[in-house]
Structure formats: structure tokens, C-alpha cells
Structure 1
Amino acid sequence: MYIIAGLGNPGKEYEKTRHNAGFAVIDELASKHNIDIDNSKFKGMLGKGVINGEKVVLVKPLTYMNNSGECIRAVMDYYKADIEDFIVVFDDISLDVGKLRVRPKGSAGGHNGIKSIIAHLGSDGFKRVKFGVGNKPSGWDLADWVLGRFNKEDEKTLEDAKKRACEAIETIMAEGTEFAMNKFN
């Protein structure tokens, strides 16, 4: 069983912001595989289903970004999941809009949601799909940038990028992280 989490912030005011790229990918994955994310548990929204023959739990933590680890730890404990079976997708300002980067593990790289997950799991050895949201323009506050919305031009790129992020997750599950890195990075 895989636990697949997308990071974001709950509430209408955060919908379609850069910081909610992880939620958007989980929604796309759920739609593609007919999985309802309708179970409110462990400070998050969960949906159980099957992707390419593998049982999955899709997770959208509702703890706000900086406390994502609280939800993830509870889900991992409940399902007795190994860290090797955990995949997280999240926004990355160091990548151009819509670019993906698959990683088998690593540091938080300044991302507070990932910092929280590492702290709560006690390990950075989990798979990730980084979703590019573009670097903040000079003079912008980082929080204002990531909590801002994409422009119309970027929205077209995002639709394709969400589909590719879903494919990257499916590839990690079916072919392994290294294969996915070679295909999507």
C-alpha cells in the first residue's frame, strides 16, 4: 500500500495558489482513478483506492503547510506504512512553472511542509515529486509569492504539468524512483 500526500493549505482563500500545487495534483490523481477524497481523519482528508493494481491512500493534510507532518505521521502509523511506501508532492520555487523533479529522498530545501514531515517521521528517506511554481520576483515577499495565484498564461502549463505529475507518481509506483527520475527530471 502506498500513502500519497499532496501538500497545501485548507480553505477557499488558498485554492489555486502556488502553495497548493500538491493538493491540485492529488485532486487530479483522484479524479483520474475515481478515488473519492471524502474521509476526514488524522487532521486531513483521505481517499482510499487502487492505482494500477496497488492499494493507495491519497492524503491532503488540513493542518496548514507548516504542520503537515502531524497528519502524515498519524496516517503512516494507522496504516503501518513503511517510509519506502510514502510519496509526497509539493510546490517548489526553484523550478520553473510546471517543471517536475522526482527525488528518492533529501533535505527540506527550505520548504516548511517538508521540514514538518521530516521532523515527525524522523527521516528524510521518502520519495518526492517537486512541482515547479516559479521563483519569486525580486522585491516580493516569499509568503506573498507562494500564497499568490498563477497568471492566465501559467494556468495552461499547469494542466499538462498536473497530468505529468500524476504519471510521475504512477511511474514511481510501477517502475521505481530512479526510472521516474530518468523519465521526468
Structure 2
Amino acid sequence: MLLIVGLGNPGTKYAGNRHNVGFMALDRIATDHGFSPWKPRFQGLAAEGRLGGDRVTLLKPQTFMNESGRSVGEAMRYLKLTPAEVIVLHDELDLAPGVCRLKTGGGHAGHNGLRSIHQHVGEAYRRLRIGIGHPGHKDRVTGHVLGDFAKAEEAMVDEMLRGISKAAGPLAAGDGAAFGSVMAGRAAQPQKSAQGSGRDSDPPGPARPRTEPAAPPAGGDAAEQPVTMADRLRALGKRFG
């Protein structure tokens, strides 16, 4: 059994915010992999299903970001899980949009949701850090994380969420190399579709959710496994300047 947590803030007010990209990724996984409907549980919304050979509970805490640990701790106790059996998907200011990195343990770098989880369950859980970019100055961080992705970023964000969903099996299995390989292949697929039928074979994603502010990140932690979408970012850079 695994617990996969997406971080964000509840409610339509925050649904499209950069800070809610963890919610967005979980919604995509739940839809693409046929999980049960979302139900109120563990001070959050939970859905159940399987990824590869693993039974998985998906959890979107509804406590607001800075109290996420209450929801995660309750779910872990009920499901009798250790931190090693928990994966947290969250926004990361210190990574460019379209870049994801896997890591285990380490500091919270000022992220309010991670800080709360640290307080309730410790730091030895796995993480998928999903890049949202930094606005360039700490005074602009709150507005940045509580703002929606720019129009120029939307296609790239959608491809990133599709990639995370497609790579959810390796993510659950803890296979970082396979996760990175799937993500890299996913990044190239839209170009192939454009040259062929012009249609992508993945099912359409659900409406997107949102979240609240995190402090600017400290320096990166060790033991990270980079998973970039360089080809896609270069293409977008040419298109949107």
C-alpha cells in the first residue's frame, strides 16, 4: 500500500494556481488510471486504485497548505504506513516550469506544506518536486505561487501533467530511471502527433485545482534525481520568446 499526496489549497478560488500543481497532478493520475471517485477522508479528498502492482490511496488535503501534515498524518496512521511508503507531489520554486525532480528526505526549503508534513510525520518520505519557476524576487513569491500559469506555459504544463500520469507506475515503484525515461518520451510525443494525425492519444485531463504561498527556496538538497523536459522547454522558448 502506498499513499500519494498532492499538495494544494481547496476551493475554486485557488484551483488554477501554480501552488496547486500537486492537486493537478493527482487529478490527472486519478482520471487516467481509473481510480475511484474522490471521497472525503483524512481531512482531505481520497481516491483508491492501483499503479502497477501497488495498491494506492491518492490524497488531496483540504486543510489548506500550511496544515497539510494533519491530513497526511491521519491517513498514515489509519493505513499503518511508514514515511517510506508516502510520496508527496508539490510545487517547487527552485525549478523551472516543466522540470521535475525526485528526492527522498531533506529539508522543506520554506515550503509551507512540506514544513507541516515534517512536523507531523518527519522528513523521510519521497517527493516529486514539480517546477513552477521563481519570480526573481522574494517580494513577488506570494503573488507568483497564488497566480495561475501564464498562457505561454499552459501547453508545457499540460504535457508535464500527462507525463507524470504516464510515469505514475514507475513513480509508485520507486524506479527513478524508468520515471525519467517515460517523462522524456512524453515530452517528445506532441511533436510526433503534430506530424501525424495532429491528435494526442492520451485521454483528456480533468479541470485543474490550486494552492497557497511558499517561502522562497533555500539551496537544493542532495540525493536528487533530475527529470527534465529540455526538448519541450526549448521548443516553447522559441515559440513564446
Q: Same fold (TM over 0.5)?
A: yes
Cα-to-partner distance string for 1:47-87 (whole Å, 9 max, x where unaligned): 01111121000000000000000000000000001111100
Deviates more, 1:66-75 or 1:29-38: 29-38
4+ aligned runs moved over 6 Å, structure 1:
none
Q: Are residues 183 and 163 of structure 1, via their aligned partners in 2, closer, same or farther at CA, if it must alter by over 3 Å?
A: farther
Check whether the contact 1:103–1:177 (CA below 8 A) recurs between aligned residues: no
Cα deviation for residue 141 of structure 1 reads 2.7
Which has more radius of gyration?
2
Partner of 1:142: 141
TM-score (norm 2): 0.71
- Please give the root-mean-square deviation of Cα atoms over the aligned residues, in Å: 1.8
For 1:111 and 1:139, how far apart are their aligned partners in 2?
13
Query: Would you say 1:66 and 2:109 are equivalent positions?
Result: no
Maintained 8 Å contact 1:102/1:168: no
**One-letter amino acid matched to 2:113:** G
Kindly provide the amino acid, as one letter, of the partner of residue 4 in structure 2. Answer: I
Residue 82 in structure 1 maps to residue 125 in structure 2: no
Percent sequence identity over aligned pairs: 32
Q: Which amino acid aligns with 1:52?
A: G
Q: Is the 8 A contact 2:21 2:91 kept in 1?
A: yes
Normalization by structure 1: what TM-score? Answer: 0.92
Residues in 1 aligned to 2:40 and 2:115: alpha-carbon distance in whole angstroms: 24
1:154 alignment counterpart: 153
Q: How do 1:1-185 and structure 2 match up within 5 A?
A: 1-121=1-121, 123-138=122-137, 140-177=139-176, 180=179, 184=227
Structure 2 stretches lacking a partner, 5+ long: 180-223, 229-241
**Structure 1, unaligned stretches of length 5 or more?**
none
1:153 to partner: Cα distance? 1.0
SS at match of 2:63: coil
Aligned residue pair count: 184
